[in-house]
Amino acid sequence: MSMKLPFFKTKQIDDHKEHKDIENIPNHVAIIMDGNGRWAKKRSLPRIAGHKEGVNAVMKVVRAASNYNVKVLTLYAFSTENWKRPKSEIDFLMKLPKEFLHIYLPELMEKNVRIETIGDFDALPAHTKKAVQYAKDKTKNNDGLLLNFALNYGSRYEIMQAVKQIMTDIDCSKITLDSLDEKAFSNYLYTEGLSDPDLLIRTSGEQRLSNFLLWQLAYTEFWFTDVLWPDFSEDVFVEALHEYQQRKRRYGGI
């Protein structure tokens, strides 16, 4: 049975509520979920214990994003560079989407969440693709939060593929060079049709992009926290939203 979280749970969140400008909730939040390994190491546990706990943190942020009426939540779950990890860790990571969906798909349906992915989906193991595809199909008519997993995602690869496809389309006169502008280019990316992230969160104290959404983050507000991903909570998410609400976005203007 799932439990609907109250909108504001704690005194700390009530304090945020005072400053809360409901009009200024980011439409699209992207998160680099980092620190699973360090979370486990601090507890003398194997790294996979951090990833396992990270799955629960995913659901916490989905609940919070859904409650706060965020429209799109893009989570960096596996990068094209993560294939360099030991096989045992990769195998474990590839089982997590199925585990997550096995536990939480009923609640995701109840919350009207739609699941999508960005990245090279075809290159994932068959069992991962099967579980995720099932969830995509099952949730495709939901019109609440879009939960977008970046799975086997690399931004440089994405941009390079876009360039190749554009060249092919110009060659066969599907588009003209003159018609190619930023909007048209965006439509060749995995994120076709999605607005760019308004807020990027990275956990664990690291402050880099790690090949994540390089084109799409051009004007995004960044927020970094030392909290390790498995410790991420609604309170931390609200802290990020609150900070976002204080930012003045000028997009290069004054």
Question: Applying CB under 6 A, does 198 fall inside the site for ligand FPP?
Answer: no
Exposure string of 67-85, with b = 16+ CB inside 10 Å and e = fewer, is bbebbbbbbbbbbbebeee
User: β-strand 221-224 against 199-202: which pairing, if any?
Assistant: parallel
Q: How many CA atoms lie within 13 A of 233 on its CB side?
A: 9
Among 97, 119, 154, 197, binds ligand FPP (CB under 6 A): 97
In the complex, which residue's CB is closest to ligand FPP?
37
Q: In the window 110-169, what residues touch ligand FPP (CB under 6 A)?
A: 149
Q: Does the annotation place 10 within a ligand binding site?
A: no
Residue 38, marked binder: yes
Out of 29, 49, 73, 96, the only residue in the binding site for ligand FPP (CB under 6 A) is: 96
Select from 16, 38, 60, 242 the one that contacts ligand FPP (CB under 6 A): 38
36 near ligand FPP, rule: CB under 6 A: yes
Strand order in the sheet with 199-202: 114-118, 146-153, 72-79, 28-32, 199-202, 221-224
State both tokens at 168. 């092919």
Reduced to 3 states (helix: H, G, I; strand: E, B; else coil), residue 221 is strand
The token duo for 44 is 């003398």
Confirm or reject binding of residue 202 to ligand FPP (CB under 6 A): no
55 binds ligand FPP (CB under 6 A): yes
Query: Does 62 sit near ligand FPP (CB under 6 A)?
Result: no
Question: Which has the closest alpha carbon to 97: 152, 162, 141, 146?
Answer: 152
Residue with Cβ nearer ligand FPP (33 or 199): 33
Q: 144: annotated binding-site residue?
A: no
CB 54 within 8 A of CB 65: no
Has 116 been labeled as part of a binding site? no
Per DSSP, the three-state class of 78 is: strand
Indicate which residues carry an active-site annotation.
34, 82
Q: Catalog residues that contact ligand FPP under the rule CB under 6 A.
A: 33-38, 51, 54-55, 58, 77, 82, 93, 96-97, 100, 149, 204, 229
Q: Residue ranges for the binding site for substrate? A: 35-39, 47, 51, 79-81, 83, 85, 202, 208-210
